[in-house]
Structure 1
Amino acid sequence: MAGITLLLIAGLLVAAFVGYNIGGSSTGVAFGPAVGSQIVGKPLAAGLFTLFALWGGWTVGRHVIETMSEGIVPASQFTLAVSIVVLFFAGGALLISNFFGVPSSTSMTAVGAIAGLGLATDTLNEQIMFGIVSAWIVAPLIALWSGVLIGRYIYPYLDARVTFTRFEGGLYYFDRSGSIPRPRLNQNATFRDLLGAVVVLAVSCYNAFSAGASNAANAIAPLVGSGSITASQGILLAIAAIGIGGFTIARRTLDTIGEGITDLPILAALIVSLVGATIITILSNLGVPASLAVSMTSCIIGLGWGRSSRTVTIPEAAEAAIEGEGGPDLNVGALATGREADSGITPGPTIGEVASGEAEARQPPSETSQEHVPPIGEPGRNEVEEAPELFDRSATGRVVFLWLLTPTLSTIGSYLVFSIFL
C-alpha cells in the first residue's frame, strides 16, 4: 500500500511538472501581444490564461483525455507505473526542447509514448492511431492554405486599416480618488484603440481556451487511464500546474514576448493565433490530440507566401508552371513590409517593437481616407523580394526537425522500455 501511495505521489508530481512547463510556454504565446501592448499586465494575463484554459480543459478537453486514456490503447494497459513512464517521456520532450530553445509538441510526444506502449503490448488501436496521424498531416496543410488565402486576398486590406497602439501606463488605470478604486480608460485612447484592445484580448483568451483543451490531457491522461484519478480531478490538477507555470516561469516569456514571434506584425500574430486555435479546438472536440505550435507555424508560412504571391495573378502563375519558367520568389518577409513596399505606407509595428516601446506612433486612418492596396498582379515584386525574411530558414528547419524527432524518439524509447520490462 505504501508503495502504491509513493507511486501515486510520483505520478502526480510528474504530471504537475508537465503541466507547469506547458503553462510556462503557452501563456507567453497566447498573451504576448496583449501584454506587449500593455492592454493587460503579466499577473492578469496569467490569471485569464488559467481561467480560459480551465474552461477549455473542462469542456472540450475531456474528449482528448478520453482518446489518450482509453482510445489509443485500452485503459487496462495504464498501470500506475506505466503511467509514470509515459508522463516521463512527455516531460523529457519538454526538457529536450527547452535545452535546444525550440518549442516541442507535447501532444505529439505524449501520443508517441502511448503508441510505443501499444506496439510493445500489441494493443495499439490502429484505426484511432491512423486517424490521429492523418490529422497531424491535414491540420498543418489547412493552416498553411488558410494563411495563403488570407495573405493573398484579405491581409493587405486589414493591414491598411488596422492599427495597434501601446499606451504608457496601460490602456486603463484605477482611479483611487474615491473610497472604492474604479477602472478608468486612458484619456488618450480612442474608440478605435478600445476596439483593437478588445480584439487582441479576445483572441488571446480564445488561444488560452484552445491550449487548455488540447494540453490538459498531455499532463494527466495516463493517470486517468490507470484509474488513479478521475478526469475531473486530473483537469483540476493539470490546470493548477499550468496556472502556476503561467504565474512564474511564463513571466520571462512574456517579458521577451516569445523569441519566435517578435518579428511578426501584431495583426499577423492575431490571424495566426485565430487560425491555429480554431483548428486545434475543432480537433480537440473530435478527440484528436494535436499541436497548436505546428498549426501556427504553418499559418505563418502561408501568410507570407500568400502576401507575396499578390505580385502575380493565378493565370500567370499557372502559365509559368506549364511553361517551366521560374515564378516569383515567394518571400515570407512580405508580411512585415507589405504596405511600405506597395504604397509607401508605414508598416504596422511588430510584437517586439510594441513590447519594447520602440514602435513609432502611426496615425489611424480617418473615415474618409482610403489607403491604396495595389490589385493582384500589379508590379512591385522587387520591393517584396528584397524585404527581410519573416523567419530564419535554417532555424525553421531545425524546429521542424525537432518536431519530428521528439515524438519519434518518444515512440521508440517507449517501445523499447515496455518491451523489456512488461
Structure 2
Amino acid sequence: MIDMFTVSILLVSSLWAMSMGASGFAVSFATVYSTRKIDFWVCIILFTVSLGIGAILLGGEVAKTLSSRIIPQELLSSKKWLTVIILFSAGVSLLISNSLKVPSSTSIIIMSSFLGAGIFFANFKVLTFIYFILVSLGCLLLTYFITYFTMKFLYPPRYENLWFYEKVISKKNLMFLIPLVSSIYNAFSIGTNNVPNVVGPVAVSSIVDIKVGFIIFSLLFGLGAIIFGRGVLKTVSQEVVPIGIFSATIISVIASSFTIFASIIGLPFPIVLVIASAIIALSTVKREVSHLYSLKNPVVRKIFNVWIFSTFFPVFLSFLYCYVFSVLGLL
C-alpha cells in the first residue's frame, strides 16, 4: 500500500516538473515557433525527446549534487519529509515569482530551498554554495559581454558585416533551420540541468532510480508543456519578434552552452538569469546606451528585485516548514 509520504513526494515533484516543463518549453521553442513553419505537437515531441536525452547523458552530476553535495544524503534519508518540504518550498516560490510575471531561476530556487533546510539543521556544505554563486556570477558576466560584442559586430548593418546579411538572405532555409537546431540544443541543455532539479531530491527517497527518474520526469516535463505550454509559447514567441529571430537564436545558443558546461561540472545553473543577462546586453547594443544606463532601466530593476526575493524567500519558507514539521514530530 502506498503511504502518505510517497503520495506527497510524487505529487509535489510531478507538479514541480510540469511547471518547469511549461516554462522550459516556451524558452526553448519560442524562436522557431515564431517562424510559423513548425506545428505545436512537433515542438512538443522534439522538446521532450531532446530534454530526455540531455538528462540521461549529462544530468547525473547535477542530480548527485542535489542529492548529496548540498546537505548530507544521510540527513535527507533519515528525515524523509525533508525532501517534500524542499520541493514544496521551491514550488510555492516559483508560483509567486510567476505571478509577478518575472521568470525566475528554478536552480536558484531549489538551491535556496536546500539552504533553508540546511540552516535549520545546521548541516550544509558552504563550499558548494560559494562555488555555485561564483560560477553563476562568472557565467552571467561572460554571457553579457559575449552577447554584447557579438551583437555589436552584427548590429547595425554596415559595410564590415554586410557579407553576413548577404549570406543569410541568399539562404532562406537558414531562417528556419538555425532556430530549429538552436531550439533542440536549448531543450537538450535544459534536460541536463533542470530535470535533475527534480530527480536529485526524489532519488534520495529511493522511490525511483536516477536513470529511471530522468525518463519519467522528462515525460512529465513534456506533459507540463502540453497542458500549460501552449499559451506561454504563443506569448513568448510574440515577444521574440521585436528581439529578432537571429538575435534570439544567438542568445539561446550562448545560454545553452553555459548550461551544459555547468551540468558537466555538476552545478545547478540559472539559465533564466543568463538569458536575461544576454537580453539586457542586446538591449544595450540596439538602444545604443551605456551599460550603466541599461542597469538603471525600471524593468531591469524589477527583475533584479524579484530575483533577490526568489533567492531568499525559499530559504525562509523551507526553514519555516522544517520548524513546523519538527514541532508536529514529522522530522
Q: Using structure 2 for the length normalisation, give the TM-score.
A: 0.89
CA contact (8 A) 2:179 2:246 kept: no
* 1:193 aligned counterpart, secondary structure: coil
Q: Which residue of 2 aligns with 1:412?
A: 316
Structure 2 CA distance for aligned equivalents of residues 395 and 418 of structure 1: 35
Q: Given the alignment of the two structures, is residue 85 of structure 1 paired with residue 90 of structure 2, yes or no?
A: no
Give 1:402's match in structure 2, choosing from 306, 310, 313: 306
Structure 2 CA distance for aligned equivalents of residues 37 and 308 of structure 1: 25
Which structure would you say has the larger RCO, counting Cα contacts within 8 Å and 6 or more residues apart?
2
- Equivalent positions of 1:9-158 (< 5 A) are 9-78=7-76, 79-156=79-156, 157=161
Rg larger in structure: 1
Q: Given the alignment of the two structures, is residue 222 of structure 1 paired with residue 222 of structure 2, yes or no?
A: no
CA contact (8 A) 2:195 2:218 kept: yes
Q: How far 1:395 moved relative to its partner?
A: 2.5
Q: Which residue of 1 aligns with 2:280?
A: 301
Q: Which residue of 1 aligns with 2:171?
A: 192
* 1:263 aligned counterpart, secondary structure: helix
The amino acid across from 2:318 in the alignment is: S
How many pairs align? 319
The amino acid across from 1:405 in the alignment is: F
Give 2:165's match in structure 1, choosing from 152, 156, 160: 160
Higher helix proportion = 2
* 1:227 aligned counterpart, secondary structure: coil
CA gap of 1:35–1:392, structure 2 versus 1, over 3 A, is farther
The amino acid across from 2:281 in the alignment is: G
Q: Which residue of 1 aligns with 2:290?
A: 330
CA contact (8 A) 2:34 2:237 kept: no
- Equivalent positions of 1:251-262 (< 5 A) are 251-258=230-237, 261-262=240-241
CA gap of 1:82–1:307, structure 2 versus 1, over 3 A, is same
CA contact (8 A) 2:94 2:109 kept: no
Q: Which residue of 1 aligns with 2:249?
A: 270
Structure 1 CA distance for aligned equivalents of residues 8 and 319 of structure 2: 22
CA contact (8 A) 2:44 2:222 kept: yes
Q: Using structure 1 for the length normalisation, give the TM-score.
A: 0.70
CA gap of 1:96–1:260, structure 2 versus 1, over 3 A, is farther
Structure 1 CA distance for aligned equivalents of residues 87 and 33 of structure 2: 32
Structure 2 CA distance for aligned equivalents of residues 245 and 110 of structure 1: 19
Q: Which residue of 2 aligns with 1:183?
A: none
The amino acid across from 2:230 in the alignment is: R
Q: How far 1:260 moved relative to its partner?
A: 5.4
The amino acid across from 2:205 in the alignment is: S
Q: How far 1:419 moved relative to its partner?
A: 4.5
CA contact (8 A) 2:34 2:238 kept: no
Give 1:245's match in structure 2, choosing from 208, 224, 243: 224
